[in-house]
Amino acid sequence: LQPQLPLKPATKENHFRAENTQLMLSYQKGQITLQQYKVLLFSLYEIYKALEEELDRNSSHPAVAPIYFPQELARLESLESDLEYFFGQDWEKRVIVPAATQRYKQRLRKVGENENPELLVAHAYTRYLGDLSGGQVLGKITQKSLGLSSKEGLSFFSFPGVSSPNRFKQLYRSRMNSVELTEEEKAAVLEEAVEAFELNIQVREQDSGLEVSDRPVRASDVGAARFTASPVLQFAVGLCVALATVGAAMYGM
């Protein structure tokens, strides 16, 4: 039987484009600095804040309810914890929103507030299953790259509410395929999944001189972490798509 929502084959080309970039190779080699990771956290925070607020708003919608797993998947609290670790309690005053991240955020708001909430299924699939697939491995790569002696500041990569990622992904896909949609709605969700990947790729490709001023972190926790004064935004926010698609490509969504 064909799945109700064949999102994986619909986004196959996007997966290929995302996984065959210098960015992906660089990340897998551990070539990420603390400065880059900080900018990454800001972009992830903005994306997930919009996504999760819209999922909450539409949690009773018949298309959203089956794939609404806030206890298992929600990332916002983890990101807030990571940001507080690196920037202190006043981290919210220092949030920067790069242009491509802003476009991604605006699209999520438009879908949730003004258009068709069923399109949120495409965005939830793109983000959550990719992050869940590669989270553990990517977390270890990040920890090693930054020289962190503990997992503090890396909460984003951990899904304590999911005991078995593979079993949970099977459940998620089953729930997703149970969503009842008209042919027109199904086509729209598949198109939105492609759009979600494109938004991620735009985030990856954006270039800007924006930087995050360094705040000292505890020397006992940071070993070989490198600070840079050169523009790092293109690489760092590009990891947003890396985290969603490396996991998808390497470990299967």
Question: Is residue 99 domain-resident?
Answer: yes
Question: Is residue 233 domain-resident?
Answer: no
Question: Is residue 239 domain-resident?
Answer: no
Question: Is residue 246 domain-resident?
Answer: no
Q: How many domains does the chain have?
A: 1
Determine the distance from the C-alpha atom of residue 64 to the mean position of all C-alpha atoms in its chain, rounded to a whole number.
19
Question: Is residue 166 domain-resident?
Answer: yes
Question: Is residue 241 domain-resident?
Answer: no
- How does the average pLDDT of the chain come out, rounded? 77
Whether 214 shows a pLDDT value over 70: the answer reads: no
What are the start-end ranges of the H helices in the chain?
A: 7-10, 12-19, 22-28, 34-57, 70-73, 76-87, 99-113, 120-124, 130-146, 165-178, 183-205, 233-251
Q: Which domain holds residue 125?
A: 7-223
Residue pLDDT, tens place only, 2-49 = 456 666 655 555 555 555 555 566 666 777 778 878 888 888 999 999
Question: Is residue 237 domain-resident?
Answer: no
Residue pLDDT, tens place only, 44-86 = 999 999 999 999 999 999 999 999 999 999 999 999 999 999 9
Write down the pTM of the prediction: 0.80
% of the chain residues with pLDDT over 90:
40
Whether 123 shows a pLDDT value over 90: the answer reads: yes
User: Residue 22, class by beta-carbon neighbours within 10 Å (0-12 exposed, 13-18 middle, 19+ buried)?
Assistant: exposed
Q: What is the DSSP string of 25-76?
A: HHHHTT---HHHHHHHHHHHHHHHHHHHHHHHHTTTSTTTGGG--HHHH--H
CATH code at position 146 = 1.20.910.10
pLDDT for res 78 = 97
Say whether 7 sits in a helix, a strand or coil.
helix
Question: Is residue 147 domain-resident?
Answer: yes
